Amino acid sequence: MVRLKRYIALATTFVVAFVLTTRAARPYSLSVLGTYGYNTTWQHFGGGELKAYMPLNANVELEAAFEGLSSNVYTASATLRPKFAVPVGEMFVDASVLYKAVQRNRMHNAAGALSLGYRMDYVSLQVGCFTQMWADYGRMWNSEEEYVIDALNVLYRLSVNVRPLCERWNIYFGVSDYTELEYERMWQPIFFLGAYYDFPPSSNFEYEYNAASHFRLLAEVLCKPTGMFHLNASFYGAKVKVGFAYKF
């Protein structure tokens, strides 16, 4: 056991050293978003989301997000994303964990996901699996109560951009059964439509600090129907997020 711990410590040291000494390809960014939503269970709710994007080196990214909602639900998530270029586009692997404190209903909800993605200028496709666990706040260790653990779900995300990724603004739309802040069961799709806009530099001097060029405007609408695979689809809820990202 002690030997195993040493191996783990050594491996961790190497990974951290590798990550810290290789050069990141893109700048860090921090996003702040305001949220308004409605669903038939929580009715109207609002909140905020904070999201950090941290490229550790040219091939590894880390994303972390936190969301607090007025419906008394708080979510934190983290994603580690190794990625590598292929002749056309880019492939990536997402390893994600999520924790949701459902304070209003006094329960924990945690999820873990692993997926493989392929991204091109216009289309991004991601397929993998995830599972989630539910537990009561008041559960005692010796209780008859169970942790409810979902069977493995298929994770999917198909996103289409109307312009190539390199453009200053873009609109994207698609379908997925997850976002960075929730993992729905596989037959409960979430439809999304979003856009971003990068402010142009405010000056022609290349080496001058351009505050505007560091900002990106973000907006996204997420819509969740219910009963699609009951063959009785109807509207369940929607969420609108608007905010900005600052690229360091």
Partner 1 sequence: MVTDMKRFSSNSVQSGIDYVRSIVRFMLFWGVLLTCSCNRLDVVGMFYTESAGSDERFAQSQEYNSTHGFDTVLVAQDNYRVYIMTDIHVDNTTINLDTFTSAYLEDADAAPFCLCLGDLINGKGYQPKFLAYVDRIRAAGRQVYCTPGNHDIYFGQWNVYRDYWHTSSYYFVVQTPSGLQDMYICLDSSNGTLGAAQRAWLEKVLQEAGTAGYRHIVCFTHTHLWKKDQSQGHTSNFALEETYDLADLFSRYGVELVLQGHSHHRNLTRFKNVLYLRLDKMQDHYYNSFYTILTAGTDFSWQYVAVGPQHEGYNEVKIEGR
| Interface positions, 80-109, toward partner 1 (CB under 8 A) | 87-90, 102, 104-107, 109
The 8-class DSSP code of residue 207 comes to: T
Minimum CB separation of residue 184 from partner 1 in Å reads 6
Number of residues that bind partner 1 (CB under 8 A): 67
Q: Which residues of 36-75 are buried (b: 16+ CB within 10 A; e: fewer)?
A: ebebeeeeebebebebebbbbeebbbebebebbbebebeb
Q: Report the distance separating Cα 141 and Cα 133, nearest Å.
A: 16
5 near partner 1, rule: CB under 8 A = no
Element (H, E) at 72: none
144 near partner 1, rule: CB under 8 A = yes
Minimum CB separation of residue 203 from partner 1 in Å reads 20
Q: Report the distance separating Cα 241 and Cα 198, nearest Å.
A: 17
Give the one residue of 19, 228, 238, 240 binding partner 1; rule: CB under 8 A: 228
164 near partner 1, rule: CB under 8 A = yes
Among residues 22 and 234, whose Cβ is nearest to partner 1? Answer: 234
227 near partner 1, rule: CB under 8 A = yes
Minimum CB separation of residue 20 from partner 1 in Å reads 22
Q: By the 8 A CB rule, do 153 and 177 touch?
A: yes
The separation between the first and the last C-alpha atoms of the chain, rounded to the nearest angstrom, is 43
18 near partner 1, rule: CB under 8 A = no
Give the one residue of 50, 59, 236, 238 binding partner 1; rule: CB under 8 A: 236
Minimum CB separation of residue 167 from partner 1 in Å reads 9
75 near partner 1, rule: CB under 8 A = no
Q: Report the distance separating Cα 38 and Cα 229, nearest Å.
A: 22
Minimum CB separation of residue 16 from partner 1 in Å reads 24
145 near partner 1, rule: CB under 8 A = yes
CA 180 from chain center: how many Å? 2
Q: By the 8 A CB rule, do 90 and 84 touch?
A: yes
| Interface positions, 181-200, toward partner 1 (CB under 8 A) | 182-185, 187-188, 194, 196
